[in-house]
Amino acid sequence: MTAASPSSNAVLVTGSSQGIGYAIALGLQAAGVGVVFHGHEARPASIPAGSSFIEANLLVPDAPGSLVAAAFREQPSLDRLVCNAGSFFDVPFLEMGAEQWDRTLQLNVRATYFVVQAFARELVARGRSGAILIVSSTNGFQSEDDSTAYDTSKGALVMMTRSLAHSLARHQIRVNGIAPGLIQTPLTAAWLSGKDPAARRHYEKKILLGRIGEPADCAGPAVFLLSAAAGYITGQVIVVDGGLTVGQVGKM
């Protein structure tokens, strides 16, 4: 990990070494929030100089608590959290084994739950209010081919957002979420590159705004939901999909 100067407002962003988490972290930095970046491998060169970075594999059972403790050592003023870490391990349903299923639920659901718990315990112990953002997916509302474990995990995160908002309101800790649609990230890049141009055009037509999203498209909603401007909002999930899930058929 790398120390940074403490900030009056600070946030831990899990899974922020690339993709959506990285874009959200940069957006929060631009808004003046001190950011603790996190990844499961060594610090990448793209992390801004002077920023805190913690390496932790959230598939390890005690990693959520250890990560949060380390983040508070880096930035004692932490009052915000983004739970973005997650991945996709699916195979076709009839081929799905317990290992892939457990890995999906352990990373996407269990780790998120216990990162939030450890973070909330710290805030309560310090008598501090705060805000939490959980990154789910439009897969939490609409299913997809050969995505049963992932879809299930993202649906769980949608309800987790609402349930934790309920549980933490008494402590003045807000919990909201975003549900990105089809976003160009390292996770989707291989899948998208394997599609023929006609398939990509199909997706672009299905999206009302006519393009596949970029990670930066998720930063604005995240910054808003973690800001004082959203101080009376909790338990909500903003869909960030360019209109992908609005229409039934899309443009012809």
What residues act catalytically?
150
DSSP 3-state assignment of 86? Answer: coil
Query: Residue 251 is which amino acid?
Result: K
> Who's near 221: CB < 8 A, 6+ residues apart?
178, 238, 240
Beta strand 78-83 with 10-13 is: parallel
- The SS3 call for residue 213 is strand
Rounded distance between C-alpha atoms, residue 244 and residue 127, angstroms: 41
CA proximity to 132, closest of 218, 65, 226? 226
Tokens 């973005």 map to which residue?
A: 84
Helix (H, G, I), strand (E, B) or coil at 126: coil
The side-by-side arrangement of strands in the sheet containing 10-13 is 52-55, 34-39, 10-13, 78-83, 130-135, 173-180, 237-240
